[in-house]
Amino acid sequence: MATPPLPPRHLVSPAAVWMAVAVAVCVLAVLPVLGVALIATGSSDGLWSHLVANVLPRATVDTLILMAGVGLLVTVVGTGCAWLVTACDFPGRRVLEWALLLPLAVPTYIVAFCYADVLHPLGAGPTALRALLGITNPRDLPLPDVRSMGGAIFVIGIVLYPYVYVPARALFAMQAANVLEASRTLGASRWRTFRSVALPLAWPAIAAGTSLALMETLNDIGASSFLGIQTLTVSIYTTWLNRSSLVGASQIAMLLLALVLLLVLVERGARRGRRFAATARQMRPLHPRPLSGTAGRITALLVSLPVVLGFVVPVAHLANEAAARVRFAGLSPVLFGEMVNTVILALIATPITVLFGLVVAYAVRRSRRAAAVAVVRVAGLGYAVPGTVLAIGLVTALATADAWIGAVARWATGVPTGLFLTASGAALIYAYVVRFLAIAANGVEAGLANIPTALDDAASVLKADRLRTMVRIHVPILWPALAAAGLLVFVDVMKELPATLLLRPVGFETLATHVFAEASRGTYEDGAVAALLIVLAGLGPVVLLSRLGRPRHAGRPPGPEADVLRV
């Protein structure tokens, strides 16, 4: 009997090639962070004794309180709403199901500006309240100030909860159906079913979403500094600007990164040992329990609250301000060009980011070694570094590259070339990719985790090579996850401010830089039109995103596409 032919041998294994490509992507992603680290090795002139005595303890405590508050808020709101729209049927559920995503379209700093206006004693809220109570003098009705820790937690949390809502809903909707029904059949209460079965099942997705929201909280500068919260990120800027120490600032940024690594470890721990992919195909969609009468109305009210607070209130305020502004000062003709610039940047940066995310996440699937997982984590670091600090690291790296290119070009052509990469559109795109790679990689990775590895093995038995397996099997199944990641990246690029501001070419403006210019003139109300345009431009992608996650018709076995919607 003839022995079966041996599989073809490669000099270099395909897994190693994948790994090499992934490492190359990570090196690119990490270069700006390394730039920051390099700056951090400089001398900080004895700054640290002051920082340790007077700045860092307070900043660390405030940062941790802010993160704990935001973490709790996004987890409770995101998970709670996801559960209610999946497990219950109540008036308005179909609309709320996608409307809950809308806050994603509004930048955090703009929501902070809006609430500072709306909740000011002279703002719409307290004015209406005083009219209701028959009070004329604002001093007779002191209300809590949004410029406080509580206010910051509220503002940031109410915008970021969709990061948890999206993956949690996908999990609840698709994965757990028959497990949940089994739990009910076995006599467990609804609450116990949620607590002991549904929640643990969705936990990895919730943890991933929460960690993204927390990273965004960590690198926020606009909202926290406007509301007067002294976070570590705010102290990075203070150290850089007022103490004129970019070195000291970079050192605090490194400290911040340590905090992020800790966060990532915790999140990893929360996800560990939970793989449910193999059973996913045997699931049926959950049949929601109808809630009628008072119970239905209360649930509807409860679930619409995050939409109202995170989207309707700020956007209504913006629309109102924008209308007043247009009547008063007319529509600025430059806005159209800025909108085009903004969308073009997002259109270029998004596919690159998603492709890189795919490469990185795929490397992890291939190798499943600790080293590979570490690579993914490292690639995502850019997300946690404050944008301006990252941009400084990037400028340093690009300027060096420009000097080399310039030298080569002069040698080859005899003509000085000027700046090639620094302050070019390419630098901006690069910054976006570095900054949002974590979103793409996380999304794709979570999606891949839900494709049974048995599929790979089957493909392998059928002698499909690795690339073919990916292109023919994984990518089609992954398509919704890729699209979801892409839409999130797209919206994030449009909202991005600090890196855009620092790296854009001379004479190139986007909607975000327009808003910032007006805000720094002290007339952030003037930026209302541009801010509203950012929101409007983000609505399309957000609505698309919500359609991706919508459960298919009952009776059709759900494909894995629904549960890969994790961010």
Partner 1 sequence: MSMRSRLGALVAAGFALALAGGASAQQQDLTLYTSREEGLIRPLLDTFTQRTGIRVRTLFLTTGLAERVAAEGANSPADVLMAADVGNLVDFVDKGVTQPVSSPVLEAAIPANLRDPAGNWFSLSLRARIVYASKDRVTERAMRYEDLADPKWRGKVCIRSGQHPYNTALVAAMIAKSGEAQTEAWLRGVKANLARRPAGGDREVARDILGGICDVGLANSYYVGLMRSGTGGPDQKRWGDAINLVLPTFGTGATHVNVSGAAVAKNAPNRANAIRLLEFLVSDEAQEIYAKANFEYPVKAGVKSDPIIAELGTLRVDDLRLGDIAAKRRAASNLIDKVGFDN
Residues that bind partner 1 (CB under 8 A): 50, 53-55, 58, 116, 120-122, 137-139, 145, 147-148, 225-228, 230, 237-238, 240-244, 246, 324-325, 328, 388, 391-392, 395-396, 398-399, 402-403, 406, 409, 413, 415-420, 422-424, 498, 501-502, 504, 506-507, 513, 517-518, 520-523, 525-526
171/423 with CB nearer partner 1: 423
Task: State the DSSP string of 76-102.
Answer: HHHHHHHHHHHHEE-TTHHHHHHHTTG
Rounded least distance, CB 227 to partner 1, Å: 6
313/398 with CB nearer partner 1: 398
1/122 with CB nearer partner 1: 122
3/137 with CB nearer partner 1: 137
Tokens representing 404 are 């080399």
- The dihedral through the CA atoms of 520, 524, 529, 531 has a sign that is positive
Contact of 172 with 86, CB cutoff 8 Å: yes
Residue 398 one-letter amino acid: L
* CA 93 to mean position of chain CA atoms: 25
Rounded least distance, CB 131 to partner 1, Å: 15
Q: Per DSSP, which regions of 191-331 are E strands?
A: 289-290
Contact of 231 with 60, CB cutoff 8 Å: no
How many Å apart are CA 399 and CA 503, to the nearest integer?
A: 12
Tokens representing 107 are 């930048």
Contact of 508 with 341, CB cutoff 8 Å: yes
What are residue 289's DSSP bridge partners?
88
3-state SS assignment for residue 205: helix
Please count the residues of the chain: 567
3-state SS assignment for residue 89: strand
Q: Which residue has the tokens 């839409």?
A: 487
Residue 521 has phi, psi (to 5 degrees) of: -80, -5
79/238 with CB nearer partner 1: 238
Rounded least distance, CB 42 to partner 1, Å: 13
67/307 with CB nearer partner 1: 67
* CA 294 to mean position of chain CA atoms: 36
Query: What DSSP state is assigned to residue 121?
Result: T
Rounded least distance, CB 549 to partner 1, Å: 37
Rounded least distance, CB 432 to partner 1, Å: 17
Contact of 448 with 358, CB cutoff 8 Å: no
9/139 with CB nearer partner 1: 139
How many Å apart are CA 547 and CA 495, to the nearest integer?
A: 22
The 3-class SS string of 291-330 reads CCHHHHHHHHHHHHHHHHHHHHHHHHHHHHHHHHHHHHHC
How many Å apart are CA 205 and CA 447, to the nearest integer?
A: 10
364/501 with CB nearer partner 1: 501
152/358 with CB nearer partner 1: 152
Rounded least distance, CB 121 to partner 1, Å: 3
Q: Which of 62, 435, 39 is nearest to 251 (CA)?
A: 39
Task: Return the axis-axis angle of helices 108-118 and 149-160, rounded to nearest 10°.
Answer: 130
183/422 with CB nearer partner 1: 422
Rounded least distance, CB 139 to partner 1, Å: 4
Rounded least distance, CB 323 to partner 1, Å: 12
Rounded least distance, CB 334 to partner 1, Å: 11
Rounded least distance, CB 135 to partner 1, Å: 11
Termini Cα distance of the chain? 52
**H/E element holding 387?**
helix 387-413
Query: What DSSP state is assigned to residue 1?
Result: -
Q: Which of 390, 402, 384 is nearest to 63 (CA)?
A: 384
3/242 with CB nearer partner 1: 242
39/364 with CB nearer partner 1: 39
Rounded least distance, CB 250 to partner 1, Å: 11
310/393 with CB nearer partner 1: 393
Rounded least distance, CB 41 to partner 1, Å: 17
What are residue 342's DSSP bridge partners?
none
Q: Which of 559, 245, 562 is nearest to 237 (CA)?
A: 245
How many Å apart are CA 165 and CA 171, to the nearest integer?
A: 10
Rounded least distance, CB 97 to partner 1, Å: 37
18/240 with CB nearer partner 1: 240
Rounded least distance, CB 325 to partner 1, Å: 7
